Amino acid sequence: MKGSLISMLPLLASWRVEASMSSAAPAMSETAAEGFLSQGKTCCAALKLALPEKVSYAGSSSYNDSLASYWSLQEEDLRPTCVVSPTESHDVALAMALLNIGGRFLPGKCDFAVRSGGHTPFAGAANIQQGITIDLSGLKRVSPSEDLSTVTVGVGNRWAQVYSQLDALGIAIGGGRVASVGVGGLTLGGGVSFFSPRYGFVCDEVVRFEIVLASGVLTNVTQASHPDLFKALKGGSNNFGIVTEFESMAFKQGKFWGGSIVNDISAKDAQFAAFEALAGSSNYDPYAALINSYAFSAAEKTWIIANNIQYTKAEENPPFFQNFTSLPQIYSTMRISNLTDFALEIAESSPSGRRQLMVTATFANSAELMSKIFDATNATAQTLSHVPNLAFSLTFQPMPTAITSKAAARGGNSLGLGAADGNLFNALLNVSWDTEADDEIIEQEAKALFAKNRASASELGLFNEYEYLNYAADWQDPIRGYGPESVAHLRAVSRKYDPRGVFQKQLPGGFKLFD
């Protein structure tokens, strides 16, 4: 640790003076006061003193690099007062301790954001306009245990950096299917991997989180040490602390069969039927992972079907996927290869630097409903087809009980899903465009579309309250969708470990626990 809290005391004392001045100095002109206490500046100065090499301001290359590495333009466009770039867990602890004290003496002046891979689309989820952004991308540890039964992963990794090291050892852990996506946010929001039908959500495979609590205390959280917090972190996103690394159970994994198959849109009804049969199978093949996407071409106003199919063992053309693989194909990249290679393939279709929207909902498995959702989505796409450079896609993913039932044996998670929910599917709308002027119409249309989808599902008795947090738009409320029991647990854990509500108020971004 570079600086200690003791060495910060003179500075903290000066804050006290500032804080009292700000409330008891009516003579000071408002602009002067504002300049003096301008949002974030004082906190940044303290952080700079404590971590001189790791705090950067506008104009510097590390500040620029941090902004440039967000996925969406909405996040990249925000301008924090400073960026803190820790390279070890203790840096995070020191920064958090200072932010805690700063937030106490200067309420509203030390607001902060926490980011790992920065792949959340909406503004403010993992960045902040005036304030402090803690950019965890320097926490890059990837260390398998000696017997290869677990892997410890720093939250600053992207999944490709993890997989390329594990592929070489013949092991894997559950993680994102897209190489460029971040480790921290994905894991804390749930996480769907190619291996989910074998092992559950990505968070279900975690056996230890290392976390900095609101107080600045750095601690390890396991099922044995803090069962309440351990469970809360699995789906609790940024509400409990700053996670620095986690340790996940690993498994032997060699090459496997996977890739993409593109079909003509005329096959859509056959796809919905094949999807329903697969996702509803009473004997779900745990090696089978599917991303069933419908992509709109705004230029031609037509659609194309793209399936991402993975079978996580080295077996070509398994019978479980036959209903998909037997349909006429436009092209196919199906092959036997390694996890890194498949994750890189999917990343090619997700460039950064554009405006982005994701919206999600969960429904009981049904081809009839998929067809209704597709038709409604098509109508929306036609309405928006004038938007310059529009990329617009609808994705269905199976969420069978094979995935949702795995948590129970591992300390549980916060998602509120289980075998009782039956076989579900996730619907994801995914829109990319270039100009801010189009934000409003896109948001309006997407909201209307999801209201319509919800109504269609309710009519058929197929609606489920769960909304996958990692795909949710900022107007959605995924934590409420976890259900009242989970929400009550999350709130109780927050009161216990963060009694002042630092992660509720001082960290405004993302999805919060209290209304």
Ligand X SMILES: Cc1cc2nc3c(=O)[nH]c(=O)nc-3n(C[C@H](O)[C@H](O)[C@H](O)COP(=O)(O)OP(=O)(O)OC[C@H]3O[C@@H](n4cnc5c(N)ncnc54)[C@H](O)[C@@H]3O)c2cc1C
Q: Interface with ligand NAG includes 163 (CB under 6 A)?
A: no
Question: CA-based angle 142:145:147, to the nearest 5?
Answer: 140
Question: CA-based angle 268:274:276, to the nearest 5?
Answer: 105
- Beta-carbon contacts of residue 211 (< 8 Å; ≥ 6 apart): 218, 219, 220, 221, 229, 233, 240, 241, 242, 243, 244
Q: Interface with ligand X includes 120 (CB under 6 A)?
A: yes
CA distance 21 to 177: 52
Handedness of CA 196, 201, 202, 206 (dihedral sign): negative
Q: Interface with ligand NAG includes 219 (CB under 6 A)?
A: yes
Q: How far is the CB of 222 from ligand NAG (least distance, A)?
A: 9
Interaction residues for ligand X, span 339-358 (CB under 6 A): 350
Q: How far is the CB of 29 from ligand X (least distance, A)?
A: 36
> Nearest CA to 324 among 286, 271, 280?
271
Q: Which does 433 bind (CB under 5 to 8 A by kind): ligand NAG, ligand X, none?
A: none
- Spell out, one character per residue from 144 to 163, where the chain touches ligand X: x when CB under 6 A holds, - when not: -----------x--------
- Specify whether the CB–CB gap between 91 and 21 falls below 8 A: no
Question: In the chain, what are the helix, strand and coil shares in percent, each to the nearest 5?
Answer: 40, 20, 35
- Specify whether the CB–CB gap between 312 and 255 falls below 8 A: no
CA distance 381 to 441: 12
Q: Which is nearer to ligand X, 209 or 257 (CB)?
A: 209
Q: Which is nearer to ligand X, 221 or 261 (CB)?
A: 221
- Specify whether the CB–CB gap between 456 and 376 falls below 8 A: yes
Q: Which does 242 bind (CB under 5 to 8 A by kind): ligand NAG, ligand X, none?
A: ligand X
Q: Interface with ligand X includes 238 (CB under 6 A)?
A: yes
- Spell out, one character per residue from 292 to 321, where the chain touches ligand NAG: x when CB under 6 A holds, - when not: -----------x----------------x-
Region of 394 (left: φ > 0; alpha: ψ -120 to 50; beta: rest) is beta
Q: How far is the CB of 36 from ligand NAG (least distance, A)?
A: 26
Quickly list H helices, 263-409: 268-279, 322-325, 339-347, 367-384, 401-404
Interaction residues for ligand NAG, span 361-380 (CB under 6 A): 378
Q: Interface with ligand NAG includes 215 (CB under 6 A)?
A: no
Q: Interface with ligand X includes 197 (CB under 6 A)?
A: no
Q: Which of 323, 332, 352, 504 binds ligand NAG (CB under 6 A)?
A: 323
CA 424 to chain centre: 20
CA distance 151 to 208: 10
Q: Which does 117 bind (CB under 5 to 8 A by kind): ligand NAG, ligand X, none?
A: ligand X
Q: Interface with ligand X includes 373 (CB under 6 A)?
A: no
Q: Interface with ligand NAG includes 206 (CB under 6 A)?
A: no
* Number of residues binding to ligand NAG, judged by CB under 6 A: 32
Interaction residues for ligand NAG, span 221-280 (CB under 6 A): 265, 273, 277-278
Which residues sit at the interface with ligand X, rule CB under 6 A? 71, 114-120, 125-126, 136, 155, 176-178, 181-182, 184-186, 188-189, 191-192, 237-238, 242-243, 350, 470-471, 509-510
